[in-house]
Each structure stands twice: as structure tokens, then as C-alpha cells.
Amino acid sequence: MTNLQNIGKFTGIELATFKLNDGVREEAMLELITKVDNDFLQKEEGFLGHTTLKGEDGIYVDILFAKTQEKAQEICGKLMKNETALQYMNLADEPSVSVSFWNRIKMTNLQNIGQFTGMEFATFKLKGGVSEEKMLEIIKKVDEQFTKRRRIFRTHYFKR
């Protein structure tokens, strides 16, 4: 994970999920990620942070935080021309790869985000007739009634 001190400024992310090709060691992937972070991403304007997570069944999530969704897309486009980044991408089982870009629409305090070691991620579509404003109102109630009372909870954000 790169330094996430400025993460509160993000409004866009790139989120990729993937499995490693058979025989690829996680350590090899982590070495390449470190090189991509240090040699490329840290030098990109609008880049705010990068992290990789491991979930169940060998599924990994790669998240790039940027000032805007457009900047996240621009940086990812440049990654496709970076030799080390291509080596990293070639470790992934191509049929398992899914890449998407997101805009932040709501966020609670990200003051301690650099300390996180786990994440819950969910996607959903609003039911017909439910407005984004109504959803944000409900999220605010959830924040007040549940998440702020949990000591392990660091932050809560929604993106579209």
C-alpha cells in the first residue's frame, strides 16, 4: 500500500479484481506492485494512493485512488504503456480480470485510512423510484447508528 495520507481528497478510483495465474507466487506480485508504485504511480499528477487486497478464493482487489475519476482513468491508461506495470498485469488470470472506475458521492472521516487492513465492498443498484438523495439520507442514519459506535470501523464511503 502506498502512502494514503492525502486519501481524503480522492473523488475517483480504479477498482480491479483478479486471480493470479497458476504457479504465480503472491510475493512476486507484491514485488512488482512495489516497483510500479515507486517508479511510476508516485510520480503521476492526481495520484493519491494505491492498495491491493486479498479476499476469499484467491481473489485480489487492486485500488488506485485519484483526485478525479478522469484522472484515475488517465493514470490507468498510462499504466498500459509501462513495462513494469505490464509485467504485473501479466501475472493475472485474464478471464478473471474485471476493471471499473468509480466516482465518490459520499464519505465519512478518512483520517485513519492509512491504518486499514480490511475492507467490505458491496455494489448495488437503486430500486426504481429511490433517489440518490434518499439513499444518502439512509447512509447517514447507518453511519450515526452503527458505524460510529464500532471501534474497528475506520471509514465509510459510497461511489457511483
Which residue in the block uniquely carries the three cell numbers 504465480?
24
Given a cut of 80, whether residue 74 has pLDDT beyond it is yes
For residue 157, give every residue at least 6 positions away whose Cβ sits within 8 Å of its Cβ, in sequence order, or none.
104, 106, 107, 108, 110
The Cα–Cα gap between 81 and 78 comes to 5
Sign of the C-alpha dihedral computed for residues 61, 67, 69 and 72 taken in this order: negative
User: What residues form DSSP beta bridges with 92?
Assistant: 20
- Asked if residue 155 has pLDDT above 70, the reply is no
Q: Which of 10-14, 58-62, 125-129 has the lowest mean pLDDT?
A: 125-129
In a domain, 2, yes or no: no
> Residue 61 falls within a domain, yes or no?
yes
Whether 33 contacts 91, CB under 8 Å: no
- Total domains in the fold of the chain: 1
**What is the domain extent for residue 151?**
7-159
CA 65 – CA 10 distance, rounded (Å) = 6
All three cell numbers of 70, joined, read 478522469
Q: pLDDT, tens digit, for every residue of 84-141? A: 999 999 999 999 999 999 888 776 655 555 555 555 555 666 677 777 777 677 667 7
Q: What is the Cα–Cα distance from 44 to 151, expressed in whole angstroms?
A: 34
Helix-then-strand count for the chain, H and E? 4, 5
Render 110-157 in DSSP notation, one character per residue. -TTGGG----------PPTT--HHHHHHHHHHHHHHTGGG-TT----E
Q: Is 100 part of any domain?
A: yes
82 lies in some domain: yes
- Kindly report the CATH number assigned to the domain that includes residue 59: 3.30.70.100
Half-sphere exposure of 78 (CA within 13 A, CB side): 16
Residue 1 located in a structural domain: no
Q: Is there a domain that residue 47 lies in? A: yes
